[in-house]
Amino acid sequence: MPEERPARSARGLWNGSISFGLVNVPVSLFPAYRQVSTGLRMLAPDGTPLERRYWCPRHEREVAYDELVRGYELDDGSFVVLTDEELEGLEPRKSRDIDLRRFVPIDALDPLTFDRAYILAPAGDSTKPYRLLADAMEESGTAGIATFVMRTREYIVAILARGGILRAETLRFHDEIRTPADVDLGERPDADPRSVEAMKEAVARASRDAIVRSELQDEHARRLEALARGKRRAGEGVIEVDEAVGEDAADGQVIDLMAALKQSLRAQPKRASPDASDTRSSAKELASRTRAELYEEARRRDVPGRSSMSKAELVRALSGRHAP
């Protein structure tokens, strides 16, 4: 029953385990960024939000999402088709784990390597292994390094602890970062020691103890919002839309992820086995999840043909189905 579900950790973008020696810490991964609504919607001249649809130029007709396949283009212009199942099958044996085998000083990580930040919430019966790892890591000043696969892509990740919370920062691979030589930058030009001293003084004069959050604000986003608010006050160009459909529905999901993260961090240890609720997922509860979440569930239960299923088909395939 949905009312009993809060004890089960809300599911993040990725769910798996951090393995630390023989200790496995189940975690749920959430973004450390909010989706900010700077993106402008595309509208028809009459103000209706437009939909993005796929068109096959050979058949000269629209193609639904579940008629699409993913293709890798060869030099001769033909394509090799790869299915989701095939890509998943390539995941390494322990891809559901973030296997921490190496701890490095946080300061040793190259600033150019950091890509995106995530927050990890405990997902198991007990928060104890999570807290133990967070506590011990924070004190050591190190980051645990591992690779893991999320949505058919491999990431190097640095796991860091701060304030009792585990964070994951994806890192760029070595070959994704250009060196100064790659962009033909020579050695640092020699400067007269007096120029260096003068520059140091200028830097010192412009130095402050702290950064100011307002300096990191997106001014353009603010002006855009002010313009839109002004127009609404004047009653110009205001459009009411149904957010249950189209691209706006995705925004709601992102906001939910934030709420889900906070809930997961706060969740009390529960008594039931983590899979007990999964075996009796009601169709109604399943329908409230996104296709990506349903797909993840289908993959866990090894539902055949899942990659070509629509959301409704995934709900049908999963409801009443028992975990193996």
- Taking CB under 8 A as the criterion, which residues in 125-164 touch other proteins? 125-137, 139-140, 142, 144-145, 147, 149, 152-154, 156, 162-164
Query: Quick check: 161 and 138 in contact, CB under 8 A?
Result: yes
Using CB under 8 A, pick the residue from 1, 220, 271, 324 that binds other proteins.
Answer: 220
What torsion, rounded to 10 degrees, do the Cα atoms 56, 57, 59, 62 define?
40
- Distance, C-alpha 117 to centroid of its chain: 8
DSSP 289: S
Q: State yes or no: residue 41 binds other proteins (CB under 8 A).
A: yes
Strand partners, 130: none
Three-class SS state of 4: helix
CA–CA dist 123, 121 (Å, integer): 6
Tokens for 113, please give them.
């390597």
Q: State yes or no: residue 294 binds other proteins (CB under 8 A).
A: no
Using CB under 8 A, pick the residue from 95, 253, 290, 319 that binds other proteins.
Answer: 95
Q: State yes or no: residue 259 binds other proteins (CB under 8 A).
A: no
Q: State yes or no: residue 51 binds other proteins (CB under 8 A).
A: yes
Q: State yes or no: residue 279 binds other proteins (CB under 8 A).
A: no
Of the pair 112, 283, the CB lying nearest other proteins is at: 112
Strand partners, 162: 165
Tokens for 153, please give them.
């892509």
Q: State yes or no: residue 24 binds other proteins (CB under 8 A).
A: yes
Q: State yes or no: residue 207 binds other proteins (CB under 8 A).
A: yes
Q: State yes or no: residue 195 binds other proteins (CB under 8 A).
A: yes
Shortest approach of other proteins to residue 138 CB, angstroms? 10
Tokens for 72, please give them.
């890798």
Q: State yes or no: residue 55 binds other proteins (CB under 8 A).
A: yes
Q: Which of 157, 25, 162 is nearest to 102 (CA)?
A: 157
Q: State yes or no: residue 250 binds other proteins (CB under 8 A).
A: no
Q: State yes or no: residue 82 binds other proteins (CB under 8 A).
A: yes
Using CB under 8 A, pick the residue from 4, 63, 280, 312 that binds other proteins.
Answer: 63
Q: State yes or no: residue 261 binds other proteins (CB under 8 A).
A: yes
Tokens for 6, please give them.
């809060």
Using CB under 8 A, pick the residue from 84, 253, 262, 316 that binds other proteins.
Answer: 262
**Which stretch, 66-74, 281-289, 290-298, 309-317, contacts other proteins (CB under 8 A)?**
66-74
Query: Quick check: 158 and 62 in contact, CB under 8 A?
Result: no
Strand partners, 125: none
Query: Quick check: 55 and 62 in contact, CB under 8 A?
Result: yes
**Which stretch, 264-272, 282-290, 310-318, contacts other proteins (CB under 8 A)?**
264-272
Binding mask 171-190 for other proteins (x = CB under 8 A): xxxxxxxxxx-xxxx-xxxx
Of the pair 1, 108, the CB lying nearest other proteins is at: 108
Of the pair 54, 282, the CB lying nearest other proteins is at: 54
What is the size of the binding site for other proteins (CB under 8 A)? 185
- Rg of the chain over CA atoms, in angstroms? 24
Of the pair 38, 288, the CB lying nearest other proteins is at: 38
Three-class SS state of 242: coil
**Which stretch, 106-114, 276-284, 288-296, 315-323, contacts other proteins (CB under 8 A)?**
106-114
CB-based contacts of 66, cutoff 8 Å, min separation 6: 308, 309, 310
CA–CA dist 24, 16 (Å, integer): 9
Of the pair 1, 189, the CB lying nearest other proteins is at: 189
